[in-house]
Amino acid sequence: MRCPNQLFLTNQYFGLALPNTWPYYSTTLKLTTATRRISKISNSWPPGSGHKCLVVYDREDRLGERWMEFQGINNWDGLLDPLDSDLREEILRYGEFIEAAYDCFDFDTSSATYATCRYPKGTMLMHCGLGQSGYKVVKSLHATCNVQMPRWIERIPNLMLPQSSWIGYVAVCDDVDEIARLGRRDIVIAYRGTATCSEWLENLRATLTCVPGDMTPYENNEPMVQSGFLSMYTSKIEGHSSLQDTISEEITSILNTYSNESLSITITGHSLGAALAILTAYDITTKFNNLPMVTVLSFGGPRVGNKRFRCQLDKNGIKVLRIVNSDDPITRVPGFVIDDMASRGDAMMARLPSWLEKYMEDTQWVYAEVGKELKLSSKDLISKLNVATCHDLKTYLHLVNNLVRERKEIYKQC
């Protein structure tokens, strides 16, 4: 039986939805927290891999005073280089909520409960080692794939193609001490990455499509997003509401319940989940007036929409922190980015006339990066690099934990 505080790096954490034939990775990262101010972080990477074990003694907890800074009120200016130690702990904390979404998902294709949540809502976080987090799960979330399956797929024996799958959850901080520590009552929406073949096929629908009318503000500026991500967010089948409708109903309930409190909404996800997190933030800030601060923490997320989509995100006041491993190719797809090429000094792009740039954007392949980027690199910390390892959520959390620390933080190597 697995120890609850030991998280194994298996195919279920890759976010790539590789088949179960993918090799089992025995690398683990153990995390125990004695208090919120002193934490021991160790790892059991293979001997000789060059990975170091750190015992970190954090400075006095000032989260309650600075929480809006860490949620991006100033776009994380001055906090990313070097990475502020308190912000680091917040990033790792929200990463644990995504890990819980992976851990709850039933990856066993031979099981009758494949693609569902393995645990009841009331004990979900406890089973994932977050029983003392101060949060309770208030809603399970399902996403529906609406992609047309190619006929040849039906000939593959024992292939499971669930149309609707458990994708994550909504949790509300309900512990008095934790609310005081955080400085507000926090609502978390956490999404896992790709896990089924149906979701893989949706990922491949990479052309841009217009955002539907109910997600478009009055001054319609034709924002466009990736077709597959939008389909998963808006599609519904009998017995399962769309992810969009479920989120809308839950946000309405939460706002009514805690109308007189200081709130924050933090939407976090990895891979496909990061894309859904951005769509969720865009949707709720378009539909709801007077929302509390909405922040997205994206781990290894692909591109989601075009320039007009990015502009509307900014107008809606959404704060997005994209945590990107420079060695992870998933963060550089789909499509291509014209303004990014120009900013790098690409000579060809610098010479493009405006009419040609407009034409390229109309091809439905020109995307735009959103938010603020925290760039990581796995080259110096991981000896054997491959796509799965570079994209794995566990790798992201390991890299965040090992970024150059502020001088005032005391640490020792063991």
User: What is the total residue count of the chain?
Assistant: 414
Q: How far is CA 298 from CA 163, 265, 304, in A?
A: 25, 14, 12
**The pairing of beta strand 185-191 with beta strand 54-57:** unpaired
State the catalytic residue, choosing from 378, 391, 392, 398: 391
Pairing of strands 372-376, 319-325: parallel
Determine which one of 248, 328, 392, 398 is catalytic.
328
Q: Residue 375 pairs with which residues in a beta bridge? A: 324
User: Which phi and psi (to 5°) does residue 110 adopt?
Assistant: -90, -5
The secondary structure of 277-325 as a DSSP string is: HHHHHHHHHHH-SS--EEEEEEESPPP-B-HHHHHHHHHTT-EEEEEEE
Q: Which of 133, 271, 298, 378 is catalytic?
A: 271
Catalytic (active site) residue 271: yes
Active site residue 51: no
Q: How far apart are CA 407 and CA 405, in angstroms?
A: 6
- Give one DSSP letter per residue of 233-247, joined into a string: HH--BTTB--HHHHH
DSSP letter for each residue of 177-226: HHHHHHTSEEEEEEE--B-SHHHHHHHT--SEEEPPGGGS-TT----EEE
Contact 283, 319 (CB under 8 A): no
- Distance, CA of 104 to CA of 116 (rounded, Å): 8
Backbone angles phi, psi at 252, to 5 degrees: -60, -45
DSSP bridge partners of 6: 30
Total H helices, total E strands in the chain: 14, 14
Residues acting as catalytic residues: 271, 328, 391
